[in-house]
Structures are given as C-alpha cells and as structure tokens.
Structure 1
Amino acid sequence: LSASLNRPGADLSLLSFPGLQLSTVDVGINRINFPRWSPDGQRLAFVGTPDDTTNFQLYVAEGIALVPRQVTFIEGGIDQPGPLAWSPDGQRIIFSGPGVNVFNRNARDFYAVQIDDSVITRFTSKPNDESAPDWTQHE
C-alpha cells in the first residue's frame, strides 16, 4: 500500500501488511501524488515535481530504496495530474493531460508513456475531460 501525505518535501509513506507498519521513504521528489504499484508489485509510479514548482512529471521508483527515475519530460509539466494506471504488462503508464482544448483546463485527454524510453502516445482526442484511467487485459 502506498500513500502520499502531501507534506512539503519529498517522501512516500508505505503501509505494510499484515503488521501495519508505517514507513516513510525520502525519494527526493516534491509534491508526490497518485502513487500506483505496477502489476508485479516491484515498481511504484507517481507524479511529483523536481523542485517547488507545479511542473509535475511522472516518475517510477524501483528497488527496496524506491530510487525514482523520471519517465516524462513534458515542457511545463503535466497540467492538473490525476490518477495513473499501469498497462497489464507493466511497460506503459496511462495518465491524463491537456488535450485538444489546451486553454480549457477541464478538457484532458489520455496519454500513455513507455517507461523504458519515455515515448508518449496520445490515446484519446475529445473535447470532454477524461481522467481516472484504468487499464485491464482482454483475452
């Protein structure tokens, strides 16, 4: 289980089961929000800022120490970030960002970023706001 406590600074709070032990990990990223574990439980995606701005980027943290790696490099950051979703194979993360109506902050589209090379693909292009994605595998 992961949680962002929205305190100033750079930390992730983790609650382990079954002992309900709370630990805090300093990952060096500010304003951490929307943490989401990968399907295999080995990586944690979240949005945050590298400094005190609101230029949100997407990060993936790995390993016991949860060392973060920036996977988006969007000029000006992700405007109004929201919940993230991993692809079933754990290779991409879907998020919402400004879309066709860039001047309408309530009209976001879905994008997916490839975590190994940071290539971003737009999934939707609609005038309505799209947020809170989910990604399931169809067989």
Structure 2
Amino acid sequence: MAGEIAAYSPGDRLYDGFVRQGFIPGQPVIYMFNPRASSVDDLKEAQYGSTRSNRKCLSFEMGGATLAITVETVTARYVEDDEAEHPDWYFEGTAIESGFSPIPAGSRARLYLVSLYGSDLEEGYIQLIADPDPDPNAAFRYTEEP
C-alpha cells in the first residue's frame, strides 16, 4: 500500500491504543490527519443539525483532496491515563462524493478525533469499514495522510 508506515500487531502498544479508540483489526487502513478547521461544535451540528433531506457532513482536507462524511453515531471517549478534562470523539458515518479516492462515496468509515480544551480537534484517525467479519488478530496497517 502506498504511504504505509507500519503494521501494528497484537501486543504492540499502538495496536492496543487503536483497539481502545474503537478501531477494528483486519480492516483495510487507518489514516492520521489534521482536522484543521473542524471543531466539536461542527461535529455536534453534523450529528444533531441534520435532517433526512438535508444531511450535514464534516469535511477534512486529506492528501490534496477533501473527505466529506456524514455523522451517524457519536460517542465521547474519555482517556483514563490522560490528564485531559474533555473527551475525545469516536464516530461512524458514510462518505459522500468528495474526491478522496481511498474512501469512495457510499463507504462506511469510523473516525476518532482527539479534542483539546473541549472545542478544538487536534488530530484525527479514520478507518474504512469494509469487512463485516474481520480477523480479530490481524495487523492495523497505519498510514499518514495520503
């Protein structure tokens, strides 16, 4: 895979961290990205401001393209071994047509967004949901922005 940095297997510290964040081993890839202009308020608006006929989405610049994704489920994730007062955010959604080829329109994806100070999103991780029955012992194939 172009741009692959590493593969993390069971027993690796980062593997365990990805599992705690909600990622599933054996799914195709995890990308790290900088949410830049997105905030927790944008995440709330995409979740609670959408209607069936007017779906709001979050957009992220990745690898020279834009990933636009609807927000369907959101979960606050408190990191127990972290001193941060505010939670990080896990969500799942569906990509809409946006030009980001690693995750084509209609694909389901899961995202983990690190939140600092309660409103800013510092970094994010995204994983394509492709296999409904993945191998629980497979490696995470980790990639920076494509």
Common topology (TM > 0.5): no
Higher fraction of helix = 2
Ranked by relative contact order (alpha carbons within 8 Å, sequence separation 6 or more), the top structure is: 2
TM-score (normalizing by structure 1): 0.32
